[in-house]
Amino acid sequence: MRVADQVGTSLSKLGLSKVSCIGLTVCLLFALMITALQAKENSMSTPVVFAEPSALAQQKLLIDVTTVGQSGRLVAVGDRGHILYSDDNGNTWQQAKVPTRQLLTAVYFVSAKQGWAVGHDALILATTDGGQTWQQQYKNLTTEAPLLDVWFSSEFEGFAVGAYGQILRTSNGGKSWEDWSDHIENEEEFHFNSITGLKDKREMVIAGEAGIVYYSDNQGMTWQRLESPYEGSLFGVIANGTPHGFVAFGLRGHVFRYDGSLNSWSTIPTHTEQSLFGGQYIVDGRLVLAGNGGVWLISHDYGQQFNLHKQSDRKLVSGITETADGNYILVGQGGIVKNIPQGNDLAIRP
Amino acid sequence: MSPANHKDSEVVLERLFFNNRLFVLLVFALVTVFLGYKMTQVKPETSFMKMIPTEHPFIQNMLRNKDDLENLGNSIRISVEAKKGDIFSAEYMSTLQKITDDVFYLPGVSRSGLKSLWTPNVRWIEVTEDGFEGGPVIPQSYDGTKDSLNRLRENILKSGQIGRLVANDFKSSIIEVPLFDQNPETGEALDYEALSKGLEQQIRQRYNSDIVDIKIIGFAKKVGDLIEGIGSITYFFAIAIGITLVLLLIYSGCFKSAIVPLVCSVIAVVWQLGLLSSLGYGLDPYSVLVPFLVFAIGISHGVQMVNSMGIESSLGADRLTAARRTFRGLYIPGMLALVSDAIGFLTLWVIEIDVIRDLAVAAGIGVAVIIFTNLFLLPILLSYIGVSQRAIRKVQKNRERKTRSWELLSYFSHPIVAPISIVLAIIGFSLGLYWSKDLKIGDLDPGAPELHPDSRYNQDNAFITHNYSTSADVLVTMVETPKEQCSTYATMSAIDQYMWRMENVPGVQSAVSLVTVSKLYIKGTNEGNPKWQTLARNPYVLNASIAQASQLFNTDCSLAPVMVFLDDHKAETLDRVVNATEAFAAEYNTPDLQFMLAAGNGGIEAATNQVIESAQDKMLLWVYGVVSILCLLTFRSLRAVVCIIIPLALTSVLCQALMAWLGIGIKVATLPVIALGVGIGVDYGIYIYSRLESFLRQGKNLQEAYYATLRTTGKAVSFTGVTLAIGVGTWIWSPIKFQADMGILLTFMFLWNMFGALWLLPALARFFVRPERLSTVITVDTQHETDTKKAVA
Q: Which residues of A touch B504 (CB under 8 A)?
A: 52, 54-56
* Nearest CB to B504 within list A54, A121, A314: A54
Instruction: Select from B529, B532, B543 the residue whose CB has the most chain A CBs within 10 Å, as the one to mutate to test that interface.
Output: B529
A126 lies within 8 A of chain B by CB? no
Q: Over the stretch A91-150, which tens digit does the pLDDT of each residue have?
A: 999 999 999 999 999 999 999 999 999 999 999 999 999 999 999 999 998 888 999 999
Q: Over the stretch B280-316, which tens digit does the pLDDT of each residue have?
A: 888 888 888 889 889 988 988 888 888 888 888 888 8
Taking the C-alpha atoms of residue B392 and residue B254, their distance in angstroms, rounded to an integer, is 9
* Nearest CB to A79 within list B534, B536, B538: B534
Q: Are residues A12 and A103 in the same domain?
A: no
Residue A7 has pLDDT above 50, yes or no: no
More confident residue, A302 or A18: A302
A103 lies within 8 A of chain B by CB? yes
More confident residue, A62 or B451: A62
The confidence score (pLDDT) of residue A350 equals 32
pLDDT level of residue B499 (50, 70, 90 thresholds):
very high
Taking the C-alpha atoms of residue B327 and residue A210, their distance in angstroms, rounded to an integer, is 100
Percent pLDDT > 70 in chain B is 93
Q: Are residues A115 and A74 in the same domain?
A: yes
A80 lies within 8 A of chain B by CB? yes
Q: Which residues of A touch B500 (CB under 8 A)?
A: 52, 54, 80
Q: Are residues A33 and A96 in the same domain?
A: no
Taking the C-alpha atoms of residue A124 and residue A151, their distance in angstroms, rounded to an integer, is 12
Taking the C-alpha atoms of residue A283 and residue B458, their distance in angstroms, rounded to an integer, is 56
Residue B788 has pLDDT above 50, yes or no: no
Q: Are residues A169 and A41 in the same domain?
A: no
Tell me, yes or no, whether A28 lies in a domain: yes
Residue B550 has pLDDT above 90, yes or no: no
Confidence (pTM): 0.81
Tell me, yes or no, whether A50 lies in a domain: no
Residue A11 has pLDDT above 50, yes or no: no
Q: Do B500 and A232 touch (CB under 8 A)?
A: no
Computed on alpha carbons and rounded to an integer, the radius of gyration of chain A in Å comes to 26
Question: Which residue of chain A comes nearest to B540, CA vs CA?
Answer: A144
Which of A51-55, B427-431, B684-688 shows the lowest per-residue confidence on average (mean pLDDT)?
B684-688
B37 lies within 8 A of chain A by CB? no
Tell me, yes or no, whether A101 lies in a domain: yes
Mean pLDDT, residues B672-678? 83
Q: Which residues of B touch A102 (CB under 8 A)?
A: 534
A279 lies within 8 A of chain B by CB? no
Q: Are residues A8 and A120 in the same domain?
A: no
Q: Are residues A181 and A236 in the same domain?
A: yes
Tell me, yes or no, whether A37 lies in a domain: yes
A251 lies within 8 A of chain B by CB? yes
Residues A322, A285 contacting (CB under 8 angstroms): no
Tell me if residue B315 falls in helix, strand or coil. Answer: coil
A67's CB contacts (< 8 A; 6+ apart) are A73, A74, A321, A322, A323, A324
Taking the C-alpha atoms of residue B656 and residue B650, their distance in angstroms, rounded to an integer, is 10
Taking the C-alpha atoms of residue B737 and residue B743, their distance in angstroms, rounded to an integer, is 10
Q: Which residues of B touch A101 (CB under 8 A)?
A: 497
Q: Over the stretch A205-216, which tens digit does the pLDDT of each residue have?
A: 999 999 999 999
Q: Over the stretch A220-244, which tens digit does the pLDDT of each residue have?
A: 999 999 998 899 999 999 999 899 9
* Pairing mode of beta strands A328-332, A167-170: unpaired
Q: Over the stretch B458-471, which tens digit does the pLDDT of each residue have?
A: 999 889 888 887 77
Taking the C-alpha atoms of residue B159 and residue A333, their distance in angstroms, rounded to an integer, is 17
A28's CB contacts (< 8 A; 6+ apart) are A4, A7
Question: Which residue of chain B comes nearest to A273, CA vs CA?
Answer: B128
Which of B151-160, B181-190, B228-237 shows the lowest per-residue confidence on average (mean pLDDT)?
B181-190
The confidence score (pLDDT) of residue A34 equals 52
Q: Are residues A274 and A220 in the same domain?
A: yes
B590 lies within 8 A of chain A by CB? no
CATH of the domain at A200: 2.130.10.10
The confidence score (pLDDT) of residue A332 equals 93
CB pairs under 8 A between A and B: 61
Taking the C-alpha atoms of residue B83 and residue B213, their distance in angstroms, rounded to an integer, is 7
Tell me, yes or no, whether A51 lies in a domain: no
Q: Do A54 and B531 touch (CB under 8 A)?
A: no
B129 lies within 8 A of chain A by CB? yes
Mean pLDDT, residues B6-12? 58
Which of A273-282, B33-42, B51-60, B182-191 shows the lowest per-residue confidence on average (mean pLDDT)?
B182-191
Q: Do B529 and A63 touch (CB under 8 A)?
A: no
* Nearest CB to B530 within list A54, A63, A101: A63
Comparing CA positions, the residue from B23, B738, B767, B779 lying closest to residue B412 is B767
Owning domain of residue A340: 57-347
Residue A143 Cα, gap to closest chain B Cα (Å): 9
Taking the C-alpha atoms of residue B303 and residue B378, their distance in angstroms, rounded to an integer, is 10
B533 lies within 8 A of chain A by CB? yes
Q: Are residues A152 and A268 in the same domain?
A: yes
Tell me, yes or no, whether A52 lies in a domain: no
Q: Are residues A318 and A189 in the same domain?
A: yes
Tell me, yes or no, whether A71 lies in a domain: yes
**Chain A (305-334) residues lying within 8 Å, Cβ to Cβ, of chain B:** 314, 316, 318, 332-333
Beginning with the edge strand found earlier in the chain, give each strand of the sheet holding A158-162 in spatial order.
A147-152, A158-162, A167-170, A178-179
Q: Are residues A38 and A61 in the same domain?
A: no
The confidence score (pLDDT) of residue B257 equals 85
B504 lies within 8 A of chain A by CB? yes
Q: Over the stretch B53-93, which tens digit does the pLDDT of each residue have?
A: 888 999 888 888 877 776 555 778 899 999 888 899 999 99
Is the ipTM here above 0.95?
no
Which of A310-319, B9-18, B609-618, B777-786 shows the lowest per-residue confidence on average (mean pLDDT)?
B777-786
Q: Are residues A217 and A76 in the same domain?
A: yes
If one counts the domains in chain A, the total is 2
What is the rounded end-to-end Cα distance, in angstroms, of chain B? 23
A338 lies within 8 A of chain B by CB? no
A192 lies within 8 A of chain B by CB? no
Tell me, yes or no, whether A271 lies in a domain: yes
Q: Are residues A156 and A295 in the same domain?
A: yes
